[in-house]
Amino acid sequence: MSTSRFAYDDETFLLDGEPFRIVSGALHYFRVHPDQWADRIEMGRLLGLNTIETYVPWNAHSRAPGTFDATGGLDLGRFLDLVAAAGMHAIVRPGPYICAEWDGGGLPAWLLATPGVKVRTSEASYLRAADEYLSAALRIIAPRQIDRDGPVILLQVENEYGAYGEDAEYLRALVDIYRRNGITVPLTTVDQPGGDMLRRGGLPELLATGSFGSRVDERLRTLRAHQSNGPLMCSEFWCGWFDHWGGYHHVTDAAESADGLDRLLSAGASVNIYMLHGGTNFGLANGANDKGLYQPTVTSYDYDAPLDEAGRPTEKFWMFRDVIRRHEPVPALDDRELPAASFVVPESTPLSGAGSLEEVDPGLWSRHEHLPTMDDLGLVNGFLRYRVSLSGGDQPAILKFAEVRDRAWVSLDGVPVGVLSRTAGNHAIVLPRAHGRLEVLVEDEGRVNYGPRIGEVKGLIGPATVDGRSVLGWEATAVALESMPERALTGEDSPVPLRAGLVRSTFVLDAPGDLAIDTNELGWGVAWVNGFCLGRYRPNGPQRTLFVPEPVTSPGPNAVVLFAQEPPLSRVLTFRSYLDLGPIDD
């Protein structure tokens, strides 16, 4: 219970003492360009929602210990103010752990590398770091609670904790941090209504909510059996799913999802649709799953949601709106309020080289007797280069590592030898000879965001051997990824490099607009437009396009830069009139 303007009794939520049903949709500010936040919020209002929900990613706000960045695309305060300006309420889920198919589940790499730290427990060093982060986030959230005439009506404590641990002391420590930092609105937990997760993941004094996407009646009965009073709420109604590289594009039947939503509302339950609008894992923000097989999440977070990756209404939008209309008032909708149905398609333009990786990034090399990991070197994510001199014979030899996390391009004396891939399960390769300068470029494809492998280190994992003999005396340097766009746009054009390097192009627009870059023949790499990192692209799909938000484009010339780990199969940059997220698994 709570004494705030927003509270709940044995049956329902109460807004200023009157019964209130939450009809919410998830919208992650960190997956949407900030200049498009207002548009996506407005589309949620037009769907019939009265609330917008978001996670808060600790690792994005705190790239280093003792820091908290809330500027630009991380301006949580501005996002919540836009929700309020739209006349809507807000639910905030600060974690500290969020999962969300986000890199590391939102837990910072520097935290995971802290000696002795035990994440998601009441261990002292973890709680100190979590307290510092939450206090910074809550300084933004607390003044925007409904008790202070702001939009925030609920906060969630942790996230599906019952699937991970059973530490009531930890959960109570988080509650204390929330309350100590001025949070007066009700606090909730969320878990899947199955097994013992609801009990393990909650506290008697917190409102338990469920996360599910089907079997609605059964799930609500389970939730009510666990908690005999208080409003029923599905705070993650999964209306879609996420994709992994090398897999299929996941979709769910729109009519079945709409029926599930109707069952929830007919039962009098509150709901948060996950997702209203998924957005994009811009940069290197995607997470990964590992349940015995490592599966990195793709750049698109379309999620088969009511609004697609570009914020346009899908079939689910209209079906969900019809369902909501049967239970709650929905605003009138003028077709002129809807986003454009197609993308701007610029003329195809040639791709040219801008230098090999060695040419554009000489690196700041450090020496190590044994293989260092990315975490040893303080690298949060990205790419790490290794090199070592081999002094064996002329016969072919087997190079082997204990593990590769997550993809490694191997060359000898500047000549590519092959690729080692965690997803393929290989960690050994045949070298043409056992002498020469061995070089390895390693990509962190995304830190695990769910399950027991959260917190694992990245890079090459030793020992390293050649024909069973230890390889010692390594050098390593991080790839200066953030400076790649600037480096690529200096100097003369050159041939597209056949090894890792930079590729560039320029396209011309009459006016800004959303774009879809065709990645089908671009190979393997990371892309920028006008210095804004769109994210990763891959030849193994499922997605075959990269979404370019209108605010990063401009009239006239626009610069495209690719950090290509493998050379493009085409020498032309092309665009599509639609987003191609790949084949669907029937």
pLDDT tens for 12-70 read 999 999 999 999 999 999 999 999 999 999 999 999 999 999 999 999 999 999 999 99
- Per DSSP, what are the bridge partners of residue 532? 529
Q: How many CB atoms lie within 10 A of CB 339?
A: 16
Place of tokens 């379309």: 302
What is the DSSP-derived secondary structure letter of residue 162? Answer: G
What pLDDT does residue 335 have?
A: 76
Structure-block tokens of residue 513: 């607009």
Question: Band of the pLDDT at 351, cuts 50, 70, 90?
Answer: very high
Percent pLDDT > 70 in the chain is 99
Confirm if 536 and 545 have CB atoms less than 8 A apart. Answer: no
What pLDDT does residue 1 have?
A: 44
Positions marked active-site: 160, 236
Question: Band of the pLDDT at 383, cuts 50, 70, 90?
Answer: very high
pLDDT 10s digits, 434-474: 999 999 999 999 999 998 899 999 999 999 999 999 999 99
pLDDT 10s digits, 198-240: 999 999 999 999 999 999 999 999 999 999 999 999 999 999 9
What pLDDT does residue 459 have?
A: 98
* Model confidence, pTM: 0.97
For residues 24 and 208, what is the distance between their CA atoms, to the nearest angstrom? 17
Name the residue ranges covered by the structural domains of the chain. 6-337, 349-355+483-576, 362-479
Q: Which CATH number fits domain 362-479: 2.60.120.260, 1.10.8.50, 3.30.750.24, 3.10.450.40?
A: 2.60.120.260
Q: Give yes or no on whether 6-337 and 349-355+483-576 have one common fold.
A: no
Confirm if 19 and 269 have CB atoms less than 8 A apart. Answer: no
The CATH class for the domain spanning 6-337 reads: alpha beta
For residues 252 and 261, what is the distance between their CA atoms, to the nearest angstrom? 13
For residues 49 and 25, what is the distance between their CA atoms, to the nearest angstrom? 7
* φ, ψ of residue 77 in degrees (nearest 5): -60, -45
pLDDT over 90 (residue 491): no
Structure-block tokens of residue 99: 């999962």
For residues 57 and 100, what is the distance between their CA atoms, to the nearest angstrom? 9
Sign of the alpha-carbon dihedral angle for 190, 49, 146, 10: negative
| The domain defined by 349-355+483-576 carries CATH number 3.40.50.150 | no
Confirm if 277 and 25 have CB atoms less than 8 A apart. Answer: yes
For residues 324 and 266, what is the distance between their CA atoms, to the nearest angstrom? 10
